[in-house]
A and B are shown apart, each in its own frame.
Chain A
Amino acid sequence: MKRIAWIAIGSGLLMQPALADELFFEATGKISTEVTFYAADGQFANQNYRTNLSLSAEPEFYWQWNEQRDSLTFSPFFRKDQRDSERTHADIRELSWVHLAENWELRTGLRKVFWGVTEFQNLVDVINQKDQVEGLDKEHKLGQPMINLSLVKDWGIVDFYLLPGFREQTYAGANGRLRAGLVVSDDATTYQATNREKHIDLAARWSHSLDVYDFGAHWYKGTDRSPQYKAISEHGKPVLSAHYQQIEQVGLDLQATIDSWLWKGELIYQDNPQQNFWASQLGVEYTFYGIQDTATDLGLLFEFGKDQRGKKANNIMQNDIGIGARFALNDTQSTTMLVGAIHDLDYHTTSFSVEAERRIGDDWKASIEARAFSTDNSDDPAAIFDQDDYLKLTLDWYF
């Protein structure tokens, strides 16, 4: 009942957004039910199950005032998982205040930021920590505390970030699937910085569009979002501890949009206590529009990921090619499908994925995600997923 009232208030104000000094409020969000079917029991202890049920909710509350010059967004996230107590978690994806002026805006609070252009991984996307228990696609991120000043100039957009406070990556627990043989302990985390997670990280990015080119250049100095792991003993049990070091990184991202071609590239150069290295993700996407006289578009993707550290990289696409086919039916239900494969040229292993989604009615969406791992090579870090082939069905309700 309360929700209905909010929506009524929200949509009522939405009709007159130009009215000065009026407070605009809106509550939206989604609730998701997810069932996962695994092809086999897992390869590690406590993974002897083949189905898992999970529920999540992500509401968003939004306020706007001062003639649209100030806004506040609050978006908490909750998940309850049937098996994995670590996957049962909550986060504040966003709790931020945005103030707009003529040529700048100031964004303060917990936020999510995306940088990058490629599809299989985004090397330049360094601001947020991954909410890894949410899925392997790295699309889920934890809210990052920040003060972000964004300047709009004729020669592009410049963003400065002050990032006080670091979020540790999330990991599957003892009863979770899609994890390493040893569980990562929450209590054993170590940092290079003496002030640990209170270290203040800094970043800046310049981005611009010129003709068919969109590009960005960034600098980042602070805590590495990707940790190093070490096997330790905790209460007499072997576990992994995560160690977060300090890094300094520069990077570039570029996309050229030429007719039906998208040429994409991301490049980083990182300096950390162990070594300096570069890594790149380069690729191309070509789209056939309206195939076979239908409204369906077919996009073909090819990408190549390379990390100078080679097999020592804590990056799963250290020398990998990714291929994909993206179908968009452009129908009333917005049906899409993405079929892809990643092949590791160092370990000769391959993983396959299918993702498809379709709207049902006006407020529901059904999705399928399936992954199969042909990673039977114990040297490959991806070998931990070898028994975790799965099919995940998700039903989202939007309000």
Chain B
Amino acid sequence: MNIKQLTTSIIASSVLALSATTAFAGAAEDQGMAISKEAKARDEGWVDMTASMNMVLRNKQGQESIREIRMKVLEIIGDGDKSLSIFDRPRDVKGTAFLSFSHTSGADDQWLYLPALKRVKRIASRNKSGPFMGSEFSFEDLASFEIEKYTYKFIGEQPCAIGSCLVVEQYPTDKNSGYKKRIVWIDKAEYRMLKTDFYDRKNSLLKTLTSEQFQQYKGKFWRPSLMKMVNHQSKKSTDLSYKQYKFGNGLTAADFNKNTLKRAR
């Protein structure tokens, strides 16, 4: 393509984009939000959940490193969830525990328990984009999905691993997010997030997350047993598998405080 052709095609596409924007002002945005709201709504009402997480971290050379975490989560309607994560592996961090009260708006409240010192430390939740335990998952990748955390744009329908998917761009509203945007593939039948592309602050493709082996719990809630995160820039990857999902454990807010954090095991 020579310069002239390029210029022509840029002008043409700008005109197209312009007319599209004028004709359906906010339509793609509204549709994107509606799809995301539907996905959220279909996953509400699970009350509480416990699960074991196993992470396999692989570097560029394929060397593996293992992480094992158990978690308890309490659903809070109208706000972010409360969660308690207990680290089992690697062994030097065994007994370390992490308590988080996430919020739909504003900073999350987070505490870390360091068993060697018996110390509970309140930590800044500003660090959303940092790696979780050295893995390719960042803290924000593992946080609960809240409508207020993004603005939306519907892209279109595409075939995907399970049937047909709705493709939505999500733009983080938090200035501390590590991403400019993420593109999610949500299957039309059950509104499960099957795939996510993460774009860094410079808008280059950074990571791809694919979720597999979905199982339905309580006749309603779909959960993947395997989440594969590949970092396209560093060539590292992390496989996160969930075991022993258990819903309806009778957890209450009383299971999430500094005392339960200190004796979490």
Contacts and interface: CB of A to CB of B under 8 A. Distances in A.
A313 to B, nearest CB: 25
Contacts of A14: 88
Interface in B106-140: 107, 109, 116-120, 122-127, 129-131, 133-134
Contact of B91 (A28, A71, A261): A28
B134 A333 contact: yes
B37 interface: no
A207 B66 contact: no
Given A157-B257, A289-B130, A114 B119 contact: yes
B15 interface: no
Contacts of B107: 212, 257, 259
B126 A260 contact: yes
B127 A289 contact: yes
Contacts of B66: 362
A355 to B, nearest CB: 14
Contacts, number: 99
A295 B131 contact: yes
Contact of B89 (A209, A262, A297, A362): A362
Interface string B71-102: 00000000000000000111111100000000
Interface in B227-265: 244, 246, 249, 254, 257-259, 263, 265
A98 interface: yes
A333 B63 CA distance: 12
Contacts of A207: 258
Interface residues of B, number: 40
A209 B109 contact: yes
Given A98-B263, A157-B257, A399-B91, A330 B130 contact: yes
Given A114-B117, A289-B127, A399-B91, 18 more contacts: A28-B91, A28-B94, A98-B263, A112-B118, A114-B118, A117-B122, A157-B259, A207-B258, A209-B258, A257-B107, A257-B122, A257-B123, A257-B125, A262-B124, A289-B126, A334-B133, A362-B66, A362-B89
10 contacts: A64-B265, A113-B118, A139-B116, A139-B117, A152-B254, A209-B109, A259-B126, A261-B124, A362-B89, A363-B90
